[in-house]
Amino acid sequence: MEFFDMIPIPMLDGVVMHAPFRNTVDGTLCISSHHLILSSRKEGVEELWMLHRNIDLVERRPNGLSGGSIVIKCKDFRVIQLDINSPEEFVQVAACIENLASIEDVRLFYPFFYRHMSPILEDGWTAFTPETEYAHLVNSLADEWKISYVNKDFGVCPTYPSAVVVPKSIDDETIIAAANFREGGRFPVLSYRHEGGARRTLHAGTAEAEYRKTVPLLQPDTDIVIPMLRLHSIQSSVLMRSSQPMTGPNSKRCKEDERLINSVLGPGKRGYIIDTRTQTLAQTAKSRGGGFEVEIHYPQWRRVNKPIDRHNVLLDSLTKLVEACNDSSSSMDRWLSRLDSSNWMTHIKDTLNCACLVAQCLDQEGASVLVHGSEGLDATLLVTSLAQVILNPDCRTVRGMEALVEREWLQAGYPFPLRHNKSAYSTANNGRNKTQAPTFLLFLDCVQQIHQQFPCSFEFSTSFLILLHEHSYYSQYGKFNTPFLGLTSWLRAGWAGSERVGDIELGHHQHPKPQLGKATTKIRSATAPLSGLDHNRFSTFLGTCESDRTSLKLAQQTVSLWSHLNRPEVLQSFLNPMYDPNNKVIWPSVAPMSLTLWSELFLRWVVDQGPQKEAWVTITSLREKDKELRLKACRLRRQLADLQKEAVEVGILAPSLAPPTTLPAEVPSVVALRGPSLGKQHLEDPSVVAFE
């Protein structure tokens, strides 16, 4: 069906909109192929511009002959109500919105129609390839690691990228055999290499350690951490991920798989296999052909069960949480009870606990780790990603987080279209199934929890995490614009004039305008790309894996989200003004009192976030003022040094009386982990200058 046939009423006057923290708007509703638009045609009045893909559920509330109300529940947790007076138009508009919101053909999504007007400064599709991400590792340790293209045609593992990093000693035949032994072909691959964790310094001629470090002894069956003194040597460890081995009820073995994971261990070294399932579920999986690594076949590895609930449990948990957040009439006791019964905070605690365990193995034990659950997708990617946020300071920068999402989620085959087809408002009657889950949102919430505990260690603000959440569910998040003069002026003109009106300009975006002749003319301009024009919008999260994205030709027909975010003028709005580069490992607390509800995301449509925004603006202003004063101090110190030097030269001041002056650089800078795209704010940060 064409868009033309799906929109019986492209424009409707007299529609009343009710939205959170917004005045009631009485205006004109416009329905295009990808957007729901409402304008009052008045100056300075808020307007709605929303993608259909943001709609999670449409509820109809008929009111007899007076029409009815359409309640739109969005994937960003917003609830909007549209009141329509005519019963016939009420039914038609509701059906139209439902149909447009449920389109499944990816090629009809907005990224394939959007016209990107700004020049592309950096191609996000090639910014974080395995070749670039692991270039330093492969070049510096060429005798240990290599980039393998055994999966170049996606035949070995359909959900893996074409290039993967594996030990240098492993040939393609071994990889193929190991892939056949793992569910879905997801054989063990390198996720992260950690250096400089455990240390030991020895005096010449003595066997005693000069340096001893207190580290936790792993207790797989309890959350208790027992401190003990242990000697360590300087070494590196690796983090790997895979799916479960297909041992089956007879405990089958695969020598190639054993050789593959043993190759990452040094002589006499042992590693840990962190299984994100309970022991019971792991045993049950054997009866269905799955299983776990049998100790007799993997003697160098110690298996630890650190259970995280499966992905199909998370959506129910999120639904309960959002319902509790939207109930503003709850008493304190009921609110706390509903928050607790949602189990969302428990999921956060369990996930962080497992990630901290992995990080401890790598950093404090100096041991390599293999993480897997069943499919090696949801819980596995959660844990490996969070462990890197804890250990690797690069992942706490903007580009580092982008690279982490690209590497550990997009290239690792996380099925965003399946998991994010529905969100918190979906119901069993609305098509919810076991493939839908907010696993990526759980990851972002866990990062936000760490961000709250270490607010100065992250280059990005939590609004950057919210943006990633929104783009993962729909290609462009709709928002209110105050005022949106382009649309207002256009509607004031009565949609009259020529068949082709032009384009609506939205800042740095540009959207197709509905082309209308008479009031009954259906929308045509937005139904297909116009020849000769570049129709793009960010499609980074489209496709379930690299194979899908290659077949869809996303890199040729659409624009990566990273290309947009890394533009200096866009990046600036997501930078953390309190950022102070921290190259150390950060250990978050997983105690219940240390974890808080992410109000900036879950309560933004319920509780006024104005005070928090004002506080953030004040912090930013103070930080900028601090930078200006520090830079001024730098220049004054340099002027003082020049005057002292001149005074000595003319004999006014004796050299012995001239106090020593430390001369900072004219423009102090922070060394960026990933080059100059972090933004001028942090590359020219005078706040890092130390004054005596």
As a three-state string, the secondary structure of 448-487 is HHHHHHCCCCCCECHHHHHHHHHHHHCCCCCEEECCCHHH
What pLDDT score was predicted for residue 541? 67
Q: What is the pLDDT of residue 579?
A: 93
- HSE value, Cβ hemisphere, 13 Å, CA-based, for 171: 1
Residues 6+ apart with CB under 8 A from 314: 347, 437, 438, 439, 442
For the ranges 86-100, 187-201, 258-272, the lowest mean pLDDT is seen at 187-201
Regarding predicted confidence, which is higher, 84 or 547? 84
Q: What is the mean pLDDT of residues 503-515?
A: 35
Give the C-alpha separation, 210 to 200, whole Å.
7
What does the pLDDT read at residue 534? 31
CA distance 261 to 175: 11
For tokens 């509800």, name the residue: 597
pLDDT confidence band for 434 (50 / 70 / 90): confident
* The pLDDT of residue 323: 94
Mean pLDDT over residues 492-507, rounded? 32
Strands 79-84 and 25-31, how do they pair?
unpaired
- The pLDDT assigned to 165 comes to 93
**How confident is the model at residue 198, as a pLDDT?**
58
Distance CA 94, CA 89 (A): 8
- pLDDT value of position 677: 45
User: Cα 159 from chain centroid?
Assistant: 19
Burial 405-439 (b: 16+ CB within 10 A, else e): bbbbbbbbbbbbeebbbbbbbbeeeeebeeebbbb
Does residue 439 contact residue 378 with C-beta atoms inside 8 Å?
yes
The predicted structure's pLDDT at residue 565: 87
Lowest model confidence (mean pLDDT) among 77-81, 209-213, 392-396: 209-213
Residue 480 reports pLDDT greater than 80: no
More confident site: 458 or 490: 458
pLDDT tier for residue 660 given thresholds of 50, 70 and 90 = low
Number of other residues whose CB lies within 10 A of the CB of residue 494? 11
Average pLDDT, the chain: 79
SS3 of the chain: helix, strand, coil, percent, to 5: 40, 15, 45
312-353 per-position pLDDT tens digit: 899 999 999 999 999 988 899 999 999 999 999 999 999 999
Q: What is the pLDDT of residue 111?
A: 73
| CB contact burial 547-578 (16+ within 10 A = b; e otherwise) | bbbeebebeeebbbbbbbbbbeeebeebbbbb
The band of 8, judged by pLDDT with boundaries at 50, 70 and 90, is: confident
Q: What is the mean pLDDT of residues 449-455?
A: 97
pLDDT of residue 122: 84
pLDDT 10s digits, 26-53 = 989 999 888 899 988 777 667 788 888 8
Instruction: Supply the DSSP string of 504-535, one letter for each residue.
Output: EEETTEEEEPPP-SSTTPPP-TTSSPPTTS-B
User: What gap in Å lies between CA 639 and CA 637, rounded to an integer?
Assistant: 5
Q: What is the mean pLDDT of residues 382-408?
A: 96
What are the start-end ranges of the H helices in 364-391? 378-391
Question: Among 140-154, 480-494, 505-519, which range has the highest average pLDDT?
Answer: 140-154
Please compute the mean of the pLDDT values over residues 355-370 and round it to a whole number: 96
For 78, 249, 324, 424, the CA distances from 330, given in Å and listed in that order, are 19, 50, 8, 19
CA distances from 36 to 12, 420, 436 (A): 12, 20, 25
The neighbour count for residue 111, using CB atoms within 10 Å, is 27
- Spell out the domain ranges in the chain: 3-103+480-529, 130-198+235-474+585-592+595-602, 199-233, 611-688
**More confident position, 199 or 275:** 275
Share of the chain above pLDDT 70, in %: 77
CB 549 within 8 A of CB 561: no
Question: If you average pLDDT over each of 124-128, 204-208, 682-686, which comes out highest?
Answer: 124-128
**More confident call, 383 vs 213:** 383
Q: Measure the CA–CA gap between 54 and 422, rounded to whole angstroms.
A: 10
Give the C-alpha distances (Å, rounded to integers) separating 404 from 128, 363, 384, 394: 9, 19, 10, 9
Residue 571 has pLDDT above 70, yes or no: yes
pLDDT band at 104 (very low <50, low <70, confident <90, very high): confident
For range 253-257, the mean pLDDT? 96
Calculate mean pLDDT across residues 77-87: 93
Q: How confident is the model at residue 540 (pLDDT cuts 50, 70, 90)?
A: low
Q: Which fold has domain 3-103+480-529?
A: PH-domain like (2.30.29)
Mean pLDDT across 385-396: 96
Specify burial of residue 585 (Cβ count, 10 A radius: 0-12, 13-18, 19+).
Answer: middle
In angstroms, the CA 326 to CA 182 distance is: 43
Under a CB-based contact definition with an 8 Å cutoff, are residues 239 and 368 in contact? yes
Q: Tens digit of pLDDT for each residue in 124-156?
A: 888 888 888 888 888 888 889 999 999 999 999
Query: What mean pLDDT is predicted for residues 89-104?
Result: 90
Question: Cα dihedral angle (421, 427, 430, 436), rounded to 10 degrees?
Answer: 20
Q: What pLDDT is attached to residue 607? A: 86
Q: What would the two tokens of residue 76 be?
A: 């960003």
Whether pLDDT at 418 is above 80: yes
The Cα 103–Cα 626 span in angstroms is: 51
Average confidence (pLDDT) over 371-384: 95
Residue bearing the bigger pLDDT, 230 or 73: 73
Residue 377 has pLDDT above 60, yes or no: yes
Predicted confidence at residue 236, as pLDDT, reads 83
Q: What is the pLDDT of residue 447?
A: 98
Per the document, the length of the chain is 692
CB 356 within 8 A of CB 590: yes
- Terminal Cα-to-Cα distance of the chain (whole angstroms): 72
User: Would the pLDDT of 481 be above 50?
Assistant: no
pLDDT of the residue at 381: 96
What's the rounded mean pLDDT across residues 629-643? Answer: 90
Q: Which of 146, 153, 193, 142 is nearest to 174 (CA)?
A: 146
Adjacent-strand bridge partners of 49: 37, 479
